[in-house]
Amino acid sequence: MNAPMSSPLRRLLTPRLRRVDLAVAALLAVLGFAAVVQVRSTQEGGPLAAARQEDLVQILDELSNRNDRLRAEVSALNQARAELGAGGDRTAALAEARRRTQLLGVLAGTVPATGPGLLLTITDPEERIGPEVLLDALEELRAAGAEAVQLEGPVDLSVEPSQAAAGAQVRVVASTALVEGEEGGVVVDGVALFPPYRFVVVGDSSTLASAVGIPGGVVDNVEQRGGSALVEQQGEVRVGALRVLKAPRYARPAPQPGD
Amino acid sequence: MIPAFGLVLGVVLGLVLEPTVPAALQPYLPIAVVAALDAVFGAVRAQLEGIFDDRVFVVSFVSNVLVAALVVFLGDQLGVGGQLSTGVVVVLGIRIFSNAAAIRRRLFHA
């Protein structure tokens, strides 16, 4: 211990073998060991491993609080979902939408229609009844409140109208066009119809019947051309012909003020 | 040199054995390590000043570690363990810094 003070560094680095040196070395070994162990455990366990008990308790408290809040949120959302799923408003809205679809389908000709109405059967033995006569009849029927119309031909006149298996059937809608056929008859929306023709009309049957029967009306017109027009009022007629709806290429629904 | 070998041996042992810290020792080990570091820095300073004594180092090392652990233990019992360990680390850190400054002055004369 009486070494010169001029070279303390050398003394530090010079090997000396004494028992106390070994004790110092052992202590330093313990220090290195403990430091490495502590560093490893801190790295392995993440931040929680080094945290103290109080801190852990606090963290646990916060976590359980957060858990409770999230649980409450989950139950509230579940309740909202159940209400939305079983809500009366939603069901009613859906039923209303279905009903409107059906009504519009009748107008557009995409669903069959049935109801009171009449059958207007037109024969044309002299082949003088062209599309203009049928168009007149159609306009007359529409003006009298026809709600669903189908045009058939040729009709087998030998059987009852209710059982008649007509030749061709065309649902008459807003865009329906009637033109003269090349081989006689009438072409309705691309379907060739031949006499005798029959209109199947759903509407107020008495109004419809009086509309076609007025003097100078459809019946007179047909009889002037050598044909016959037979009007049969029915308690229930069925308009079964359908047409496929084409999606409009250019027209889009415009926003309405009420929407 | 032998103390340096001891340090290296301890580090290697720790790396090789990969022991886990017992739960009972977990709060005390980091404080004990810091306290031991304080003793080591004091020993290096004393060595440089030529007043190093092995016996003093051994006693100061052990007592530093024990006192630090005891303080933290008392703090845990009193419910202020976190604050007390912070205080111990701050005090030991200040001592380590002052020892390191003395060592620096001795070695680099600056």
Domains in chain A, number: 3
Residues A223 and A124 in one domain: yes
Regarding whether A196 and A126 lie in a shared domain, the answer is: yes
From chain A, the residues in CB contact with B53 under 8 A are 1
Which residue pairs, CB below 8 angstroms and at least 24 apart, start in B48-53? B48/A8, B48/A9, B48/A12, B48/B102, B48/B103, B48/B106, B48/B107, B49/A5, B49/A8, B49/B102, B49/B106, B50/A3, B50/A5, B50/A8, B53/A1
B62: contact with A, CB 8 A cutoff? yes
pLDDT class of B97 with cuts at 50, 70, 90: very high
Same domain, A69 and A142: no
Shared domain for A142 and A206, answered yes or no, is yes
Residue of chain A whose Cα is closest to the Cα of B26: A50
Residue A247 lies in a domain: no
Q: Is residue A210 part of a domain?
A: yes
Q: What is the pLDDT of residue A182?
A: 82
- On whether both A33 and A70 belong to a single domain, the answer is no
Co-location of A175 and A219 in the same domain: yes
Cβ under 8 Å to A: B residues 14-43: 14-15, 18-21, 26-27, 29-30, 32-33, 36-37, 40, 43
Residues A34 and A63 grouped into a single domain: no
pTM for the whole structure? 0.45
> Do A33 and B11 lie within an 8 Å CB cutoff?
yes
Residue where the block lists tokens 């949120």: A73
- pLDDT confidence of residue A3: 44
Q: Which of A18, A29, A35 lies closest to B9 in CB terms?
A: A29
User: Closest residue of B to A56, CA-based?
Assistant: B82
- Do residues A44 and A59 both lie within one domain? no
Contact B58 A1 (CB under 8 A): no
Cis previous bond, A154, omega within 30: yes
Residues A206 and A162 in one domain: yes
- Please check whether residues A132 and A205 belong to one and the same domain: yes
- Along the 259 residues of chain A, how does pLDDT read in single tens digits? 444 444 566 655 555 556 777 788 888 888 888 888 888 877 776 667 667 777 889 999 999 999 999 999 999 999 888 877 776 667 777 888 888 888 888 888 888 999 999 999 998 888 888 888 888 889 889 888 899 999 987 887 776 665 555 578 889 888 888 888 888 888 888 888 888 889 999 999 888 888 888 888 888 888 888 888 888 888 899 888 888 888 888 888 888 776 5
CA–CA dist A35, B9 (Å, integer): 12
* Contact at CB, A9 and B7, closer than 8 angstroms: no
**Contact, A165 vs A173, CB < 8 A?**
no
Residue B55 in contact with partner chain A when CB distance is under 8 A? yes
**How does pLDDT run across B54-75, given as a tens digit for each residue?**
888 888 899 989 998 898 888 8
Q: Please, what's the b/e burial string for A224-253 (b: 16 or more CB within 10 A of its CB; e: otherwise)?
A: ebebebebeebeebbbebbbeeeeeeeeee
Which residue segment(s) compose the domain that A186 sits in? 113-239
pLDDT at site A116: 92
